[in-house]
Structure 1
């Protein structure tokens, strides 16, 4: 059975993001070609796809915004995940050796602020929406039932939570941190029934991580 329009609306932005990530890694180093700027295409292409399909994301309509209490709780969870993420980086907690693939600095070591801004905006604003639509709104519920739109978050079972979190883990270098993050965002979604809560927590995690990375220059976390 081909994917439904609702499924495609959640899959295609994620696929575009992963394709651009692969393209940036494959481009050779050539004079005048700075592959780091490929990341800016995410804001245009992935952001454009999210805007194009926005009507398919009923969970993100204004009526489904979190309450002040839910927003505060989600932000707190996001900060906890951030604090754990930067600590859970021992060698045995990594699927592969960490590699810093994004250095927003020039030859003298000075920050290239337009690159920093592009990377931070992508990580803090774009990625949380795109990933939560893919991992939690689609994949987790699809694992519960192929008619995923009919699955209320509160009805998602342990098997779907575990499998979607496992695949989420495989997409990250820090496997233990990714498991904790994936479970935290999934449980927020299930508990509140609002995808915005997972998006907000994810955005706080990534936003705080980006600020910390720039301040400490621990580029391997980016």
Structure 2
């Protein structure tokens, strides 16, 4: 029927909910372990490298070495996130949710349709406008949330603007779409449970971007950020479902991030 989301594959009977949720929980657990483990490994390598560099300057004074190591800067933290999360996304994709030749052919065919590009631009712009509207409404209610990564983005915009642009507009959307839309949402889509998949994958997307207890945001601000990130995740998942190509949400995600950088003067 016209206007209905187009499946990447022919419709299939809806699978049972609880086995799907168990599979999702296993995917999510693997992702968490790989991201945390990868981040800790990267931080350990960075610390060892810094310790050797500082030791070359101050000698073997342990206290001086410890004081000279310092903390990872914006570039190092972005590289940690890039390495750990992209590794987790790739492992889960190739191990758990690898696309076959038929699906890849359909995804590439979707890129040759003008409707795919139209929906991509529409969703990318709508996500930015919707996020901005939620932010404005929060301000009217006295809520001014501070995203967890804001300080990192501001530092990177001053010191590493080109890498920040590449990271925010190309690299982060690539591994986030592969993980959250292809692996997490794609499992539900293939099993005939797309609406459940939109809900579950969007909640996961929101929680990853605003982890409870990490920031100093009050509860209302945390809920506001969850609504913003959850709405983004839902829109990108729907776009993947609608077009049948992961390229569409990736490009929409990149467009949203690019507009945000340009509007807020962080590019």
TM-score w.r.t. the length of structure 1 is 0.62
Q: Name the CA distance, whole Å, in 2 between partners of 1:50 and 1:170.
A: 17
Cα contact 2:240–2:249 (8 A) shared by 1: yes
Instruction: Give 1:63 deviation, angstroms.
Output: 4.1
Give the one of 104, 115, 122 matched to 1:61.
104
More helix by share: 2
Over 3 Å counting, the alpha-carbon distance change for 1:114 and 1:164 in structure 2 is closer
1:46-195 correspondence runs (5 A): 46-48=85-87, 50=89, 53-54=93-94, 56-58=97-99, 61-65=104-108, 66-67=110-111, 68-69=113-114, 70-89=116-135, 90=138, 97-99=146-148, 100-105=150-155, 110-113=158-161, 115-117=163-165, 119-120=167-168, 121-138=170-187, 141=188, 150-151=190-191, 155-156=192-193, 158-173=195-210, 174-195=225-246
Distance 1:176 1:105, change over 3 A: closer
Question: Quick one: distance in 2 between partners of 1:63 and 1:30?
Answer: 55
Shift of the alpha carbon at 1:77? Answer: 0.6
Aligned residues: 197
Q: Quote the offset at 1:83 in angstroms.
A: 2.2
Report if the CA contact (8 A) 2:237-2:249 is conserved: yes
Gaps of at least 5 residues in structure 1 are: 142-147, 218-222
Q: Quick check: which has more Rg, 1 or 2?
A: 2
* 8 Å Cα contact 2:185-2:197 kept in structure 1: no
C-alpha distance in 1 between matches for 2:242 and 2:255: 18
Q: CA deviation at 1:97?
A: 4.8
Which among 197, 200, 207 is matched to residue 248 of structure 2?
Answer: 197
Tell me, which stretches of 5 or more residues in structure 2 are unaligned?
1-18, 48-65, 211-224
The residue that corresponds to 2:77 in the other structure is 38
User: Does 167-176 or 68-77 show the bigger shift?
Assistant: 167-176
Mapped partners of 1:165, 1:95: distance in 2: 22
SS of the aligned residue for 2:155 comes to coil
TM-score (norm: length of structure 2)? 0.54
